[in-house]
Homo-oligomer: A and B are copies of this chain.
Amino acid sequence: MNELELVERIRRRAAKARNLVLGIGDDCAIYQPAAGEQLLFTTDLLIEGVHFLRETHQPSDCGWKALARGLSDIAAMGGRPRFCLTSLALPGWATTRWAERFYDGLFELARLQKTVLVGGDLARAETIVCDVVVCGSVPEGQALRRDGARPGDAIYVSGLLGGSALGLAQRRGPAFRRHLRPEPRLKLGIALREKLKVTAAMDLSDGLSLDLHRLCVASGVAAELDGDLPLWPGATLDQALHGGEDYELLFTLSSSTRPPRQLAGVPLTRIGTIVGGRPGVVRLGGRELPLAGFDHFRNPQKPAAGR
């Protein structure tokens, strides 16, 4: 199968959408924005040996995860996914059969989350590299941002933490399935935007310690964690604090807001309080947390892991 044939097969599987004027097959896709719509854009790399391992991740898991990363960013801003574009570079050993199974996983998640594939690029490379762009939309001015947390706000997370890191260590069981096929919290993100007075929000992709630090830097505040984190069964505090890829939502609420115990079917747990002080500092039990989450350029020698 050559490149034109593979593109044609992918094109035939791609769904249509109301606002999509033109999908795969021309120089660009064409999208007709709706009135009052603001568009969200995010792009995420998925690289063999860095974000996944060939031994542990099926091609369809890679396709699922490549899209899930971007959808989680859309969820973090309270958006509805609209469309995505996928760039995929394959080494010689990866056949077009590999590519088709990759798209199996991607289309499976896309169907579940009502996202359509509208374009992309294909190339050869030494290792598998994928980059997925996702576009989502929110009503004008209503996106949940990172920069609105204020001292006194309560800090919450959805779901359980540390499951993905535990799964990567165990390579079996429910935690591993969670690691392989993370579920972007799109319904929750929309419910947070519509129902609660969220002051700041983001998704947990690189670990609570690093991601909360980022939220605090963006908002110009510091944070005190309670230490009573909602741990995935069997996960350690270290995995919950510094393990990445839980893809839960981290958000802050003004102190007057009383959220329900669960929203959109996902439990919500208060884990701390926003405080004044040096922007970005995160304390647990009075001690400043190290920034031990994942940083590609600070931890280049870290053994290849699923992140």
By a beta-carbon cutoff of 8 Å, the part of chain A in contact with chain B is 1-4, 6, 21-22, 25-33, 35, 37-45, 47, 49-51, 73-74, 76-77, 79, 83, 85-87, 89, 92, 96, 118-127, 129, 131, 133, 135-136, 138, 140, 143, 145-147, 202-203, 214, 218, 295-298, 300
Contacts and interface: CB of A to CB of B under 8 A. Distances in A.
Contacts of A125: 47, 49-50, 127, 129
Contact of A124 (B6, B123, B296): B296
Given A43-B133, A89-B129, A131-B87, A38 B21 contact: yes
Contacts of A136: 28
A145 B27 CA distance: 8
Nearest to A44: B121
A230 B121 CA distance: 29
A67 to B, nearest CB: 14
Task: List 9 A-B pairs, minimum CB-CB distance, nearest first.
Answer: A33-B33, A131-B131, A28-B40, A2-B298, A27-B73, A27-B76, A3-B297, A28-B42, A87-B131
B77 A26 contact: yes
Given A4-B214, A30-B41, A125-B127, 18 more contacts: A21-B143, A25-B146, A26-B77, A27-B76, A27-B146, A28-B42, A30-B40, A30-B143, A41-B119, A43-B86, A45-B89, A45-B129, A45-B131, A47-B125, A49-B125, A96-B297, A124-B297, A126-B127
Contacts of A29: 40-42
A41 B85 CA distance: 8
A47 B89 contact: yes
A3 B45 contact: no
A218 B35 CA distance: 31
Contact of A147 (B26, B49, B89): B26
Nearest to A39: B31
Contacts of A89: 45, 47, 50, 129
A159 to B, nearest CB: 17
B129 A28 contact: no
A142 B118 CA distance: 19
